[in-house]
Chains A and B, each alone.
Chain A
Amino acid sequence: MSFAIKRVWGVLPVVFGVLLLTFLLVHLVPGDPVEVMLGDSATSGDRAQLRAELGLDQPLAVQFCNYLKHIAHGDFGRSIHQHADISTLIAERVPATFKLALLALAIALLMGLPLGIAAALHHLHWPDRFATLSALTLSAMPHFWLGPLLMLVFSLWLGWLPISGMESKASIVLPALTLACGLAAILTRMTRASLLETLNEDYVRTARAKGLPERLVILRHALKPALLPVVTVVGLQLGSLLAGAVITETVFGWEGIGRLLVESIEKRDYPVTQACVLVISLSYVVINLLTDLAYGRLDPRTESGH
């Protein structure tokens, strides 16, 4: 239990830092942020109103305190261009991103784990070469290149899946696959390395020596401990999927929070940009924390402080 409390306590300064950095974002805008956001056509009255609305006329420390107060109440302010509450805008978009990320995670696990296991069991033979090479290639393919490539193959040439948008149920497949491939590459490499290590452990040799069938040796003695570090990677990468969604959603016109972020950047709707960055990074922090706690549960050595 003390481990959990210590971890949660340790995360607080990070959360404070994330809040501070996202708060400061608007102040990094060169020149007058209000002028940049409203453009040349705005009257001085409009500007003064927005400045007051955003609280930019107050001292920085007061602004930050108000910012924290509003966030604590789940209030992210109002969008300048869409004239709606930002929390509503985000709440509308989150389910789409969540669905995309979960499906991507499932695909990545289905691709990465078997490939990694096959590679380790056939070390230095063709399954290993194939897995290593695919992982290397996939990790060199950013989403904005893999996405169009998948569109080309599965939509244009084969005609199996819709090219973009969210109209049909199958629309999610290509963006999820795009998002999944990078993670699948990492999982393959991680599973392979981890399993290769445990296969060399003394307890695996003992299991073999006592005449246990090879299938049981691998499943019970080698694979179980080998998957522990993989859990951490899955947790860490689930958060990264949210960042990856920014590009993938843009490529496929998927209306999630990543798309909202990019739209807000294009319209210079900085309060929305700020809120999206905050929501994505705080989810990342929370997911990482949960991963750590789960890891503590799975690996008894962490609990006792080793």
Chain B
Amino acid sequence: MKASLPAFIVLFWLCAAVAAPWLGLSPDTIHLQNILSHPDWHAWLGYDDLGRDILARLLSGARVSVTVAVTVTVVTFSVGTTIGLLAGYFGGWLDKLLMHSTDVFLAFPGILLAIAFAAVLGPGVGNLMLALCMTSWVSYTRLTRAQVLAIRGRQHVLAAQVLGASIPRILRQHILPLLLAPLLVEMTFSIASLIIAEASLSFLGLGIQPPAASWGAMLRDGTRYLLVAPHYVLAVGVSLMSLVLAVNMLGDSLRDSLQVKR
């Protein structure tokens, strides 16, 4: 029951993300008389610099965050794990080549490479996801490869080889299931960092374009009006932090319960 509050917070934002279009919200409706107004009964979190309802924009921004994080995670998990399986199982020059490539990607600190890719690809949510996919497959590859190296010499794998099982079958049936626990933990933490990465790129103007709402862009606008409307930054910042913190705490408890060493 320890994970109940984080689980509740994640569930809340997930529901918001899924249900946002059907909640009857009007995130793009401009109320000129309410520009940067404080919270009231109609807009619980106040209005932004164009007099739009901040709560409504937060909820539809959650949809962007969650969609980007989940999509990129699914893609990079599939690609990264496959590459790691191949590198770890076959070894030799293929392994060397692939590991050198991951070294190159890891030589760019933080989200610098994602910023660079997003910058040259141009703004937009599709390009943003592409930029994040191009840079975040590496952690799955490294993790999978390291695990496969430890597993491929085990008796049950050797037995499968001797019995003539095909390589895809060995990888899928005899190796992959043993990797799922650490990969699942990695996935949870990667979702948290992708939510931050999406917001970072949007903050720099490289993500989804206005008038669509995104948390990063809202934080940028909110910082601009910090003097007159601190509620704007606070609302978005607390939301972002709550989601990231909750996902990380879920990851922690998942790691502890699956007994994965990270």
- Residues on A lying within 8 angstroms of B by beta carbon are 13-15, 17-18, 20-22, 25-26, 28-30, 36, 136-137, 139-142, 144-145, 147-149, 151-152, 156, 163, 239-240, 242-244, 246-247, 250-251, 261-262, 265-266, 270, 273-274, 277, 280-281, 284-285
Contact = CB atoms under 8 A, between A and B. Distances in A.
23 contacts: A21-B108, A25-B116, A28-B120, A29-B122, A30-B122, A136-B249, A139-B248, A141-B237, A142-B244, A144-B200, A145-B240, A148-B222, A149-B233, A156-B230, A239-B109, A243-B108, A243-B110, A243-B112, A277-B112, A277-B113, A281-B107, A281-B108, A284-B109
Contact of A250 (B204, B233, B240, B245): B204
A144 B117 contact: no
Interface stretch (B47-55, B97-105, B175-183): B97-105
Given A30-B121, A142-B196, A149-B233, A247 B108 contact: no
A244 B226 CA distance: 22
Given A144-B200, A247-B203, A265-B204, A13 B103 contact: yes
B74 interface: no
B244 A148 contact: no
A22 B230 CA distance: 39
B241 A141 contact: yes
Q: Which of A15, A28, A144, A244 has the largest count of B CB atoms less than 10 A from its CB?
A: A144
Contacts of A239: 109
B205 interface: yes
B252 to A, nearest CB: 8
B237 A284 contact: no
A266 B205 CA distance: 8
Given A18-B107, A136-B248, A149-B233, A265 B206 contact: yes
Contacts of B244: 140, 142
Interface in B208-244: 216, 219-220, 222-223, 226-227, 230, 233-234, 236-237, 240-241, 244
Contacts of B222: 148
Contacts, number: 133
A136 B109 contact: no
A17 B104 contact: yes
Contact of A281 (B109, B226, B227, B234): B109
Given A240-B109, A246-B204, 18 more contacts: A28-B117, A30-B122, A142-B200, A144-B199, A144-B219, A144-B223, A145-B219, A145-B233, A148-B223, A152-B233, A242-B109, A243-B109, A243-B111, A265-B115, A270-B119, A273-B120, A277-B115, A280-B112
A296 B12 CA distance: 48
Nearest to B100: A13
Given A152-B230, A285-B107, A273 B116 contact: yes
B241 A140 contact: yes
Contact of A251 (B110, B112, B119, B223): B223
A97 to B, nearest CB: 13
Nearest to A250: B204
A140 B107 CA distance: 23
B245 A137 contact: yes
A216 B196 CA distance: 43
Nearest to A261: B115
Contacts of B226: 148, 151-152, 156, 163
Contacts of B120: 25-26, 28-29, 270, 273
Which 3 residue pairs of A and B lie closest in terms of their CB atoms, listed nearest first?
A: A17-B104, A243-B110, A243-B109
A3 B239 CA distance: 48
Contact of B240 (A29, A139, A142, A247): A142
Contacts of B109: 239-240, 242-243, 280-281, 284
Nearest to A146: B237
Given A17-B104, A30-B121, A145 B111 contact: no
Given A28-B117, A140-B245, A156 B227 contact: yes
Interface string B32-57: 00000000000000000000000000
A174 B204 CA distance: 20
A262 B233 contact: no
A262 B245 contact: no
Contacts of A274: 116
B213 to A, nearest CB: 16
Q: Which of B120, B205, B219, B237 has the largest count of A CB atoms less than 10 A from its CB?
A: B120
Contacts of A28: 117, 120-121
Contacts of A139: 248
